[in-house]
Amino acid sequence: MKIIVTGGAGFIGSNFIFHMLREHPEDRVICLDKLTYAGNLSTLESVMDRPNFRFVRADICDREAVDQLFHEEKPDAVVNFAAESHVDRSILNPGIFLQTNVLGTQTLMDMCLRHGIGRYHQVSTDEVYGDLPLDRPDLFFTEETPIHTSSPYSASKAGADLLVLAYHRTFGLPATISRCSNNYGPYHFPEKLIPLMIANALNDKPLPVYGEGKNVRDWLYVEDHCRAIDLIIRRGRAGEVYNVGGHNEMRNIDIVRLICRELGKPESLIVHVEDRKGHDMRYAIDPTKIHRELGWLPETKFADGIQKTIRWYLDNRQWWEKIISGEYMNYYEKMYGSREILPG
């Protein structure tokens, strides 16, 4: 199989490339990535010289570049991870989210149709379903849950999903969609909750919890997500949506306390700051369909996954220290500098 992975220099895309090269050494993997602030070529260093791997720097919105690459490589499948992925940034600047997440998806699908590509896979998110109330632990997102978004990020991802389903129905594009819950693991950009808290704690900096920290996320180790996508592109049915999640719901404040404990840092580092606008309360995935149809189950328990992740950040300090010493700090100042600190 020859597969183009867009956004492969980011968190999940890079883990997916490692997974594919390890599990399917006979496959050829081509990574197309614009290298935005979130893309990091050093992440792919260990595979750069493999004969069955190629990296191309390009924007998924650039029709000519995508056309040229599809013409050269004639891939069997395209897996689209490329996106603006951070909710807080979408509140600061929604435009780039629509550009990349919606129009970029359209460009990729147009080129898949033009080149007769056998499978297009859209990596989507559970955030397209909106949120669930904290007092209804019996409710979960299924593939039939209506789309109901809260942030410009989730609205852009939902827009892309609807377009994918429309391209399938109208033009017969052989497309699948996966909607996964929150991932964690190596190479997670330190603007997101878990790596940000690990990096700040290691530097004895304040740990900024939004509001009371009672919001719940459903955490999945990144390798389990990669296995799910691998299964879907090989055995999933075109036109179908697959939810991916491991029934591992945790409150933000409990995650941050756990990180303090694991690193031997005092909880007095925790500060409660002004809440995220439109902040979703709870995400919780029902993964019955992917289990029943494709036999997928998560393999990494949270207790093990979080230890592996913390170990990785301890062992790979230069990877994240380079990030937090550069341009990213301008964003950090903008996001947290003027944020009101809540009492208590």
Residue 100 or 176: which CB sits closer to ligand NAD? 100
- Spot the catalytic one: 129, 153, 184, 210: 153
Residue with tokens 């260093």: 45
Q: What is the CA radius of gyration of the chain?
A: 19
Residue 276 or 308: which CB sits closer to ligand DAU? 276
- The amino acid sitting at 84 is E
36 binds, among ligand DAU, ligand NAD, none (CB under 5 to 8 A by kind): ligand NAD
Please check whether residue 218 is in contact with residue 245, taking contact to mean a CB–CB distance below 8 angstroms. yes
Minimum CB–partner distance for residue 85 and ligand DAU (Å): 4
16 binds, among ligand DAU, ligand NAD, none (CB under 5 to 8 A by kind): none
Helix 11-23 to helix 222-235 angle, to the nearest 10 degrees? 60
Minimum CB–partner distance for residue 38 and ligand DAU (Å): 10
Minimum CB–partner distance for residue 234 and ligand DAU (Å): 23
Minimum CB–partner distance for residue 309 and ligand NAD (Å): 13
> Which residues would be at the binding site for ligand DAU (CB under 6 A)?
85-87, 125-127, 181-182, 192-193, 196, 208-210, 215, 217, 252, 276, 283
43 binds, among ligand NAD, ligand DAU, none (CB under 5 to 8 A by kind): none
Q: Give the chain's end-to-end CA distance (angstroms, integer).
A: 55
Residue 148 or 235: which CB sits closer to ligand DAU? 148
In whole angstroms, give the CA distance from residue 260 to residue 254: 10
240 is catalytic: no
> Which residues would be at the binding site for ligand NAD (CB under 6 A)?
6-7, 9-13, 33-36, 38-39, 59-61, 81-83, 85, 100, 104, 123, 125, 157, 180, 182-183, 189
Phi, psi of 55 (to 5 degrees): -110, 135
Residue 19 or 157: which CB sits closer to ligand NAD? 157
Nearest residue to the partner ligand DAU, using Cβ: 125
Q: Is the dihedral of CA 291, 146, 129, 238 positive or negative?
A: positive
Residue 105 or 181: which CB sits closer to ligand DAU? 181
Minimum CB–partner distance for residue 332 and ligand NAD (Å): 16
127 is catalytic: yes
- Spot the catalytic one: 73, 127, 161, 280: 127
In whole angstroms, give the CA distance from residue 334 to residue 339: 9
Q: Residue 124 pairs with which residues in a beta bridge?
A: 179
Distances (CA, A) of 319 to 15, 67, 116, 193: 15, 33, 39, 17
In whole angstroms, give the CA distance from residue 66 to residue 224: 29
167 is catalytic: no
Q: CA angle 79-81-85, nearest 5°?
A: 165
Please check whether residue 233 is in contact with residue 176, taking contact to mean a CB–CB distance below 8 angstroms. yes
224 binds, among ligand NAD, ligand DAU, none (CB under 5 to 8 A by kind): none
Residue 59 or 126: which CB sits closer to ligand DAU? 126
- Spot the catalytic one: 73, 126, 161, 230: 126
In whole angstroms, give the CA distance from residue 14 to residue 19: 9
Q: Which two tokens stand for residue 42?
A: 């050093």
The residues, ordered by sequence, that sit 6+ positions from 38 with a Cβ below 8 Å of its Cβ are 10, 11, 84, 85, 86, 189
Minimum CB–partner distance for residue 100 and ligand DAU (Å): 12
Residue 51 or 344: which CB sits closer to ligand DAU? 344
217 binds, among ligand DAU, ligand NAD, none (CB under 5 to 8 A by kind): ligand DAU
Minimum CB–partner distance for residue 295 and ligand NAD (Å): 21
Residue ranges of alpha helices (H) inside the chain are 11-23, 63-73, 87-92, 95-97, 105-114, 152-171, 193-202, 222-235, 252-263, 288-294, 302-315, 317-324, 328-336
The catalytic residue positions are: 126-127, 153
